[in-house]
Structure 1
Amino acid sequence: LMGVLAGTLNYARGIRPRWVFRGGVLVAALYALFCFRFVASLAATIVWQVPFTSLVYFGSAWALLSLPPSRRSLGSRFTGLFLALFGLVWLSYAVVFTSEAFPSLADFAPIIRQVALYSSHIDLILEMLLAFGMIVILLEDAKRETESAHAELAVAHQELKAESLRDSLTRALNRRAYNEGAGLEAARTDFGTVIVFDLDNLKDVNDAHGHQAGDALLRYFVEVLRPRLRPTDKLYRFGGDEFLLVMPRAHRDEVVDRFRKLVTSVPPMSWGEDGVELRLRVSMGAASFEGGEDLDTAVTRADREMYQEKRQHKLFDS
């Protein structure tokens, strides 16, 4: 009986079982001492036991049946119902054994006495049903834990997938993201402009100041562009020093002039303890597209234009 109470309260309310057991042992010890000292017959013992036993069963039933909707289940309803039936059976014992002392209960006693004659069968059936309800609760909990684990795995999978589509250095989208169409939903169904950027002096910075300086220059370039982008604009790192910007519903002439002024006027970044100034030297190429089918072709045209500008920069530098 104390196991039922402790398990129910722990499941339904999170109450530690050991406190229930300690209280139950104390109550049982006091009850046994009381019966040994003052109760002379089995009937009297049953009568005194009924209130406590019924209270335990009804309390356990209420704890399960009053669970919040988010935790309420078929198993908790069944188990709560069977516990309540156990409480009613024990109340019937009280009627049978107290009918002689209370004449008003005498009319009900014969009927309930017939029920009491089959108490062992009723107890067996209820115990089997109670065990069934507990098994259902265990299965439901196992299912809930499995579903929760699957949900966590799904979230982790989505996070890993999202991470795999990002460039770890600049946090821009990578070429795999472009190939899989990530971020291109608007561009696939509308017109727009693509711009290909290339950092002309990345190799020189790497050779002169080390790859950490080159990495810092790449991050700086992305930091310069990002505040000027709309939510629908997507920036991809296509290669070591090459970036692709996809801008749905943007007109080529307007955005090319704007970004050309940006990359040519941006101040140099300070690098290292000595404060070495690293300037952005960028070649650009742009092309318009009319929809998803034309997007890849536009990228090819923009890439070709960028290389033409890059060759001009090399000729000018030489």
Structure 2
Amino acid sequence: MEAFDNTLLSNYIQTVQQRTQALYENTRGSKQSSMLAEDCLEELFSALEELSIAEEELRQQNEMLIAAQSEIEAERQRYQELFEFAPDAYLITDLYGIIREANRVALQQFNIAHRHLIQKPLISFIPEHQRQAFRSILNQLPTIYRVQEWEVMVCGRKREPFIAAITVEAVLDQQGKATALRWLIRDITNRKRTEAQLQDTQLQNLELIEIDRLKDQFMATISHELRTPMNAILGFSRLIGDRVALLGDGRLNQMVDHVVRNSHHLLAMIEELLDFSKLKSRKLELRPAGFDLV
């Protein structure tokens, strides 16, 4: 849109005014012949005044139009800067995926010059094994209007393929008909790698938790299995100690006492293992009892 140049109209109005004034001066000498001319000239002056008012209004509208053009240009420049320096790749294509516009990040991702990217089909950067699915979604976009976080493998020129999260939206005209497509392409390779590492870590944690559970279960089972024979060993050791005491053999009595002490020690360790297993499984029961603190 261009502002209307009213300079020619203003000059034309001034010229008509000058000629009208000259004609009026020339016809003032003859009273009889100039009455009709004076009436015509008066009407002409009125028309010129109205035309001057219209010219002034036109000038004001022209100034408003220039101001509106400046605002539109500033808004267009702001949009262009947002488009060009966005942190993600932005593309505008037609409904068939032919690239019309591309920002700086898109050129970096595809590793291609701007003049070579424009008019190129976007599907040419998609691996062959994914092109059928890509084409299927592309054909549906004029009716479904939007697809968000669509994960696709993208292959740039002479660089490693990367995983992209694509959000694409149809541009609609005043009748609601799709006329173009806007694409946001985000490289999520690092995010996917981090997610995979996090998943591996979570799996390892689950394995460690299961190993720890099996260890506790094993310790509890072994402790129960050991406590029964240890009680038997301790009981029989005491019986043997009573018999040996009657014989009066000091050396043999010392050996039996050694067996009894070690049996008590092993039994105490087994009891501690059982208490620890119960504590970890939150099954330890406290038995409060009174005692003389002094």
Q: Normalising by structure 1, what TM-score?
A: 0.34
Structure with more contact order per residue of length (Cα contacts < 8 Å, sep ≥ 6)? 1
Rg bigger for which structure?
A: 2
The two structures have a TM-score, normalised by structure 2, of 0.36
